[in-house]
Structure 1
Amino acid sequence: MVHLRTLIFTIVMFPWMLSSAAKSEYMEARKPKTDVSISDYGDLDTDSAVAPKADELPTCLLCVCLTGSVYCEEVSPEMSNVPALPKETAYLYARFNKITKIKNKDFADMATLKRIDLTGNLITEIEDGAFSKLPNLEELTLAENRLTKLPMLPTKLISLNANFNKLKTQGVKSSAFKKLTRLAYLYLGNNQLEAIPHLPESIHTVHLNNNNITTLTDETFCRGNNTHYIRSNMEEVRLDGNPLLLAQHPNSFICLHTLPIGKYH
């Protein structure tokens, strides 16, 4: 009888004991682990938590790359250099970043480039060879930077926009545009120029407003010794905002279709 009772007790209690032990083990595993030290995980690379800089990221991860076009506008983290471009890039838009300098190597061997827009950066210097070896570059926008001089420019350039810089006369040679026989649109407004550089016959539009230009000559736009000369391509000239009295230079515009636009005193 005693053995029978023992057997019945064992049959009833053993499953309960197993269940209780399993529950205790489960609850212990769920307890939050405290007092964890760095040694519990070995040597951690603390630098891996630091966000990578723009220069360390692949261009097409940092920017938007479409077929032939790269858009790097207001990049975060801040972009301070021109990124490495895919070889087939024809159009680069790197506006409103923190680029400070354009180097010769930035566009080396980029024969496909047709348009570069660097508006709204902090560019103070452009090395002379940065653009001059781009055989197909037609449009270059450098507006809203801090340039005091222009670099050498490619001969096929059609449009140059350098409005809102700090360009000075000594930084823009009188012959800077002489060999640019396709240049049609030239924007040099809101700078510190005191003289007007030579303008090629191809020019359609030239904006020189809000500079420090004080004088003109009969040769600035026309040919003073040729009263029959007509500058047929030039359609728009802006000189407003300069310390210049147009009335003192009546022969400076006789070859143009229209007088300079803008408000003059």
Structure 2
Amino acid sequence: MNAKARKLFFCGILVKKPNVPTNEAILQRATDDSNALLPADSPDDSTPLPPGGDPSGNEQLTPDLPTCLLCVCLTGSVYCEEVDPDMTSVPTLPKETNYLYARYNKIKKITAKDFGDVVTLKRIDFTGNIISEIEDGAFAKLTMLEELSLAENQLVKLPVLPAKLVSFNANHNKLRTRGIKSNAFKKLTKLAHLYLAHNELEAVPLIPETVRTLHLQNNNISSLTADTFCKSNDTYYIRPNMNEIRIDGNPVILGQYPTSFICLQSLPIGRYQ
């Protein structure tokens, strides 16, 4: 074997083509994620996601590596889903990040420092972690945030939420009424979709008039008032936007509160006593 042949032979051994996902695989993952922030019982209210990728091929990486090696970073999007080894805290993000998907990890807490340098976020999804605490001020600088999912965690109370939220999902937590401040949603003047199902709420929180979809099923709500959804001092009041409400799976007997729904254009859906 001459010198040139030996060189080519050894180069062929030492150089290994990296396993880079194809564009088709990345686009397919984005399609599969298109209903990321919506609960399973609301398939029609989907919002397309930006192109994304699948971080499942990073099993050998360690937590000390930069976020974009542990996760998949595309233009404006960071995917950190089911990261191995376990991700237990919010990853450091590129400053231009618009969309963060950190689903099904072992994140325990969100601190006030986690998003201090990332003010461009529009969508955050923490579904399926073990978050039990969120510091007040954690979302204070996220003035552009429109969609936030904290579903399937262990929250017992809610932090102060960003004012421009359009969709908020906290299904499947351990929220009780005392863990939600009376004005928690009052300043959310753009909130249209609110999901608080499968918690431990004893009463319906104050709901902004902008809300179109409200899911409160499978809580511990046992009573309503004439002011829960309507205005007892205004018999002509019609709630303008709410067109889907679920309160089934609660101990409340709706027939005992007929005046609670007279202002609604659509009655609650689901099975009731």
- Asked if Structure 1 and Structure 2 have the same fold, meaning a TM-score greater than 0.5 normalized by the shorter chain, the answer is yes
Q: In the aligned structure 2, how far is the partner of 1:260 from the partner of 1:198?
A: 17
Letter in 1 for 2:172: F
Superposition pairs of residues 45-64 of structure 1, within 5 angstroms: 53-54=62-63, 56-64=64-72
Q: Alignment RMSD, CA only?
A: 0.9
Superposition pairs of residues 149-228 of structure 1, within 5 angstroms: 149-228=157-236
Contact 1:53/1:78 (8 A) holds in 2: no
Q: In the aligned structure 2, how far is the partner of 1:104 from the partner of 1:164?
A: 24
Letter in 2 for 1:199: I
Normalized per residue, the structure richer in helix is 1
2:128 aligns with one of 117, 120, 124: 120
Letter in 2 for 1:186: L
Contact 2:62/2:70 (8 A) holds in 1: no
Query: Which has the higher Rg, Structure 1 or Structure 2?
Result: 1
Q: In the aligned structure 1, how far is the partner of 2:71 from the partner of 2:136?
A: 26
Contact 1:214/1:243 (8 A) holds in 2: yes
Letter in 2 for 1:222: C
* Seq. identity, %: 67
Q: In the aligned structure 1, how far is the partner of 2:240 from the partner of 2:159?
A: 29
Q: In the aligned structure 1, how far is the partner of 2:117 from the partner of 2:209?
A: 30
Superposition pairs of residues 239-250 of structure 1, within 5 angstroms: 239-250=247-258
Kindly state the Cα deviation for residue 52 of structure 1 after the two structures are TM-superposed.
6.5
SS in 1 for 2:69: helix
Kindly state the Cα deviation for residue 133 of structure 1 after the two structures are TM-superposed.
2.1
Kindly provide the CA deviation profile for residues 49-91 of structure 1, in whole angstroms up to 9, marking residues without a partner as x. Answer: xx7642x111000000000000000001110011100000000
Letter in 1 for 2:173: N
Kindly provide the CA deviation profile for residues 12-57 of structure 1, in whole angstroms up to 9, marking residues without a partner as x. Answer: xxxxxxxxxxxxxxxxxxxxxxxxxxxxxxxxxxxxxxx7642x11
Letter in 2 for 1:115: R
Are 1:261 and 2:273 an aligned pair?
no
Kindly state the Cα deviation for residue 173 of structure 1 after the two structures are TM-superposed.
1.3
Q: In the aligned structure 2, how far is the partner of 1:198 from the partner of 1:215?
A: 14
Q: In the aligned structure 2, how far is the partner of 1:173 from the partner of 1:187?
A: 16
1:66 aligns with one of 50, 65, 74: 74
Q: Which runs of 5+ in 1 are unaligned?
A: 1-50
TM-score scaled to structure 1, two decimals?
Answer: 0.79
Give the aligned length.
Answer: 214
Q: Which runs of 5+ in 2 are unaligned?
A: 1-59
Contact 1:194/1:213 (8 A) holds in 2: yes
SS in 1 for 2:78: strand
Contact 1:210/1:240 (8 A) holds in 2: yes
SS in 2 for 1:232: coil
Are 1:94 and 2:102 an aligned pair?
yes
Q: 1:203 to 1:214 in 2, by over 3 A?
A: same
Q: In the aligned structure 2, how far is the partner of 1:174 from the partner of 1:206?
A: 17
SS in 2 for 1:129: coil
Task: List 4+ stretches of structure 1 deviating above 2 A.
Answer: none
Q: In the aligned structure 2, how far is the partner of 1:133 from the partner of 1:264?
A: 42
2:85 aligns with one of 63, 68, 77: 77
Contact 1:174/1:196 (8 A) holds in 2: no
Contact 2:61/2:84 (8 A) holds in 1: no
